Chain A
Amino acid sequence: MKRLLSEISAPFLILAAAAALFHHSRQLPPPRFEPMGPAFFPQLVLKGIIVLASYTIIKALYIYWKTGRREQSSSEAFKTAQSGRGNLLPAVTVALFAGYILLIVFTDLHFLLLSFLFICVLCCVLNGSVRSCWLPAVLSAAGVVAAMYLVFGLLLGTFFP
């Protein structure tokens, strides 16, 4: 049962989102200069998504009903091939990345400084211990920040947030 839920949760969310967006798309203006108009194409796409998501859900339910457990289909193989090794690091990385972006967007701290800190910290976190990696982390962070300044600051003339 738990497996069934995990199998249909994604298509279910996709279905719900598509249905909501379809409802929203009714507000789009009618066609003016050609017969399709702004709504035709998105609505067609959303209908397709709804159909496919429903198909996935119904198929999963059908198989569950027939065999009592989730079938070892090719999608299972693909998924296990892709899945991570089930540790906390991706979550920690995401958290640090989010923090980095929040600091960039909401504070006046310069991007290059924040990047330097972010790279150092994340390197050490990913490595697991600070002692063995602080030097390469700092060096690479410095190198990267210098490269960014060169490429983006001088040559492209972009502005750092």
Chain B
Amino acid sequence: MLNLSRLVLLALGIALAAPLTALAAYPEKPVKIIVPFGAGGSSDMSARLIAKAIEKDKGVSIAVVNIAGGGTAPGNLEASKARPDGYTLLWQHKTLITAHHTGVSALNWDAFTPICNVLLFNEVLHVHKDNAAISTMPALLEKAKENPESLRFPVQIGAGAHFGALAVEKAGGVTFHIIASGGDMDRLNEQLGRRVDVVFQSIPPTLPHIEAGTIIPIAVGAEERDPKLPDVPTFRELGYDIITTFNLGLYGPKGLPEDIVRWWEEAVRQVLADTDLQAELAKQSLYPAYRESQAFAAMLQHLDKELYDLAKVGGLLPQ
């Protein structure tokens, strides 16, 4: 009888301890983080910096895998099909949602388990120095109102930049002449060649030209001023509700266990506190923006609605 109860206690103990041991053991093998962007770009580099930091901090092995192309849809798909065992994750920003609303990707953010938000980068609206007359928001909007659909605004059709342009149109109650262009570099090229009037793009490529005075920044689409452009106001300060911050976060396949989510939250929180990493990230104008999974999900839900509305107005919804 004593043996049986001991046996039962032992069994009970193992059953209770098993999840704890599983937690302690995770990750047992290398974790794959899928980055649906091209190698070398800032979205890719950011993932690698964070991955390296967590590797060193936690003594685990992380492999960053690029699956670029197709508007990030193939990379998203690959990550969503993986088993929710915490060994395949996704590193994404708002393109996860915008690609869905333009019909490029079948999956939206809710096809995944949002783990946590990690970093952010901001965008700045700028004009060429030859266009100094419209280098303030009021002047820009006035000219845009007088000449609807004539101020040339290059975007990558359907990408985050396009939504940024639509956000400015919405907040200002104006319309621009939207021109199809490419990524940051292409649009900067158009600006420097004076073939366009106003550009909204990520900050790093613009900095040398702002310093040289060729480009005049108007405002930054963020909650707070960007450290790289301390003298440039945010749209909010000027009275316009335009936030186009790109938030880079980690996602897992649907049904990812709670304890794995917690593990990553904690890992990210820890590395983001390291000042060396912060300095490294700041070099690329990337800033810590930690949000744990509930807050992250809430943010995504809000962003989803906002981007859907913009897509509808801008004629980007699939027909």
Contacts and interface: CB of A to CB of B under 8 A. Distances in A.
Nearest to B180: A33
Interface string B170-210: 00000000101000000000000000000000000000000
A159 B65 CA distance: 8
B305 to A, nearest CB: 23
Nearest to B316: A32
B315 A32 contact: yes
Contacts of B178: 33
Nearest to B32: A159
Interface string B137-180: 00000000000000000000100000000000000000000101
Nearest to B318: A29
A34 interface: yes
Contacts of B65: 159
Interface string A22-39: 000000011011100000
A33 B63 contact: no
Interface residues of A, number: 7
B140 to A, nearest CB: 22
A159 B180 contact: no
Contacts of B63: 157, 159
Interface range on chain B: under 10, 10 to 19, 20 to 34, or 35 or more? under 10
A103 to B, nearest CB: 22
Given A159-B63, A159-B65, A33 B319 contact: no
Contacts of A33: 157, 178, 180
Contact of A34 (B180, B315, B319): B180
A30 B319 CA distance: 9
Contacts of A157: 63
A32 B157 CA distance: 11
B208 to A, nearest CB: 30
A136 B65 CA distance: 36
Contacts of B157: 33
B253 to A, nearest CB: 19
B272 to A, nearest CB: 24
A29 B157 CA distance: 15
B52 to A, nearest CB: 12
Nearest to A32: B315
A156 to B, nearest CB: 10
B163 to A, nearest CB: 15
A33 B157 CA distance: 9
A29 B103 CA distance: 12
Contacts of A34: 180
B294 to A, nearest CB: 33
Interface in A1-56: 29-30, 32-34
A30 B157 CA distance: 15
Interface string A80-108: 00000000000000000000000000000
A161 to B, nearest CB: 12
A27 to B, nearest CB: 12
A159 B34 CA distance: 13
A33 B149 CA distance: 13
A110 to B, nearest CB: 15
B4 to A, nearest CB: 43
Interface of A: 29-30, 32-34, 157, 159
Interface of B: 63, 65, 157, 178, 180, 315, 319
10 contacts: A29-B319, A30-B319, A32-B315, A33-B157, A33-B178, A33-B180, A34-B180, A157-B63, A159-B63, A159-B65
Q: Which 4 A-B pairs have the closest CB atoms?
A: A33-B180, A33-B157, A29-B319, A159-B63
